[in-house]
Structure 1
């Protein structure tokens, strides 16, 4: 045998991400992880503007808010533990006053709307098919916000319901952005609170739904983040101490597979170049005022100046110039 593991090698996508593309990521933890890595590599990204969302129904609803620039209904707001929250968003979106939260949501949704209308890519990560429904309104919530569990009913979304919900969302998205391309993923983060058996049921429904959607729509693709974690890495070494979340090593490995599948050659070259610049900028010299180090900084500055036409590097240039002038960056 040449190896002792099954390697997942995603086929290169015919649709490629370039340095000038706008990318909206939304959904579970993996959407946040990919979003932050894209941002770190200077792409124009709006990463999880509504906070982490887990189930397809709530993810689709949040995207619809953005598509229509629509403000949530009054009955979706709640006051819990001295903080105002909204059932359709993560608890990271909160405020001490109701009007502050309304203003915050208006700004987030408005920003998401304009970004979505101009974006080339939408990356959606489904986390779980389990949902909680309010007993008083019959509406599925994105987050229970520590409200007593007796006020909700727990159920499992079916593959059919996810596909039907996405079909409606797809039409709405194409109405505001006809050229938008969509990448679906299933989060490799394990939801073991409901027991491993039920996590497997949930993930299988999500995966089957993604398969159906990728087959149905020509501009919808599936990226196998879940399979890379479960079938390629497949080892507890690649989980954090909670045995739920992938380690940084695992995230980097999945990220490399993602870049291989979607990035243009030019973008791959830029990412490698930017990695070298980041590594150089992180260098801490023993003698900051030495001629050798000043020459080193000038070379970094030259490279940054060359990149100005491609990406925003004003902050990095200011940092290097501050070091050259003897000021703290």
Structure 2
């Protein structure tokens, strides 16, 4: 006997991947810990994370919106102001460094920056430039709104049973003089780019691991029983500031994030990894879950991922699915999903 003779069929590429129909591929995730119907669940991360929160809510899970919209707003106004998108009204959190910042600010470990961005007579928050599209009437109003979000983050972490965080990018921009890491490049969504001040940084494995570890330690400092489920967004980079090819830059970014998530899951009993990235980008799926832009995940792709998520939690096989449409002509709908991805604005700057 050798070790391979006792392995299950899912451990072999031929029997687990090559021979089954792609729609029948299942069993990629064995949950490390239970997630119950009444457990308080938080979601945060890149734009793909919003699908997870919505699916949890629609399934009747106890997904927590820590900062509900005030009464009187229309659905469009709630959407534009990012109410009910993630558990925290922070906007998209693409990097582990930005997650660490939000947790450190909310728990008093660090002071949030006092900088504001001006657009005419309106004030915008550099820490979440897309959250209030019309801006604020004053800096005081901006800081009060941010303080409310920090309080909501703090309260959410204290009462949650599980945090589900979706890692998105390794590329980021930060202030040269030990300033904060920006959620997006200044001068794209909002603000003005200053080449003497704003510095590009592509986080390496050790840096992502350091920041994510610190973020989770901060969260568990107020809630020692908090469990963490990590995922990696299957959405590729809209653009890379490395001046390299977008495809190889995406491979680097996702590889680092996937490796860090796997490492932390292997090291800690309270950390697990769910393979949403593999379920969309894996070779057997042949890209059928992407819209024609090869970036936006289709509704069928989201449903495929989430059915495998709930199937694993419930101890059942995922429901059978029909092959999605593979028409990649420009007329094929894109469902407007890029509305939620701040970095999608970068496509505006590409040569035509």
TM-score range (shorter-chain normalised) is: 0.7 to 0.9
1:84 Cα deviation from its structure 2 partner: 2.4
Aligned match of 2:202: 156
Relative to structure 1, the CA distance from residue 227 to residue 236 in structure 2 (aligned partners, 3 Å threshold; closer, same or farther) is closer
**Pairwise CA RMSD:** 2.6
Aligned match of 1:286: none
1:201 Cα deviation from its structure 2 partner: 0.7
Aligned match of 1:228: 279
| Residue aligned with 2:64, SS | strand
Relative to structure 1, the CA distance from residue 152 to residue 73 in structure 2 (aligned partners, 3 Å threshold; closer, same or farther) is closer
2:53 and 2:63 in contact (8 A); partners too:
no
Aligned match of 2:38: 20
Larger CA deviation: 115-124 vs 127-136: 127-136
1:81 Cα deviation from its structure 2 partner: 5.8
**5+ residue gaps in structure 1?**
269-329
Relative to structure 1, the CA distance from residue 3 to residue 166 in structure 2 (aligned partners, 3 Å threshold; closer, same or farther) is closer
1:214 Cα deviation from its structure 2 partner: 0.9
**5+ residue gaps in structure 2?**
1-17, 66-85, 241-245, 319-352
2:127 and 2:183 in contact (8 A); partners too:
yes
* Count of equivalent residues: 265
Q: Distance in 2 between matches of 1:71 and 1:24?
A: 24
Relative to structure 1, the CA distance from residue 213 to residue 156 in structure 2 (aligned partners, 3 Å threshold; closer, same or farther) is same
1:114 Cα deviation from its structure 2 partner: 1.1
Pairing 1:119–2:136 present: no
Superposition TM-score, scaled by structure 2 size: 0.68
1:188 Cα deviation from its structure 2 partner: 0.7
Relative to structure 1, the CA distance from residue 241 to residue 99 in structure 2 (aligned partners, 3 Å threshold; closer, same or farther) is farther
1:141 Cα deviation from its structure 2 partner: 1.2
Q: Distance in 2 between matches of 1:245 and 1:141?
A: 23
Q: Distance in 2 between matches of 1:143 and 1:45?
A: 26
Aligned match of 2:99: 59
Pairing 1:249–2:300 present: yes
Aligned match of 1:3: 20
Larger Rg: 1
Task: Determine which structure has the larger helix proportion and give its number.
Answer: 1
- Counterpart of 1:181 (choices 205, 208, 227) is 227
| Residue aligned with 1:15, SS | coil
1:91 and 1:143 in contact (8 A); partners too:
no
Pairing 1:166–2:212 present: yes
1:111 Cα deviation from its structure 2 partner: 1.7
Superposition TM-score, scaled by structure 1 size: 0.73
Please give the per-residue CA displacement for 1:257-295, whole angstroms capped at 9, x wherever unaligned.
Answer: 111233589xx9xxxxxxxxxxxxxxxxxxxxxxxxxxx
Larger CA deviation: 114-123 vs 135-144: 135-144
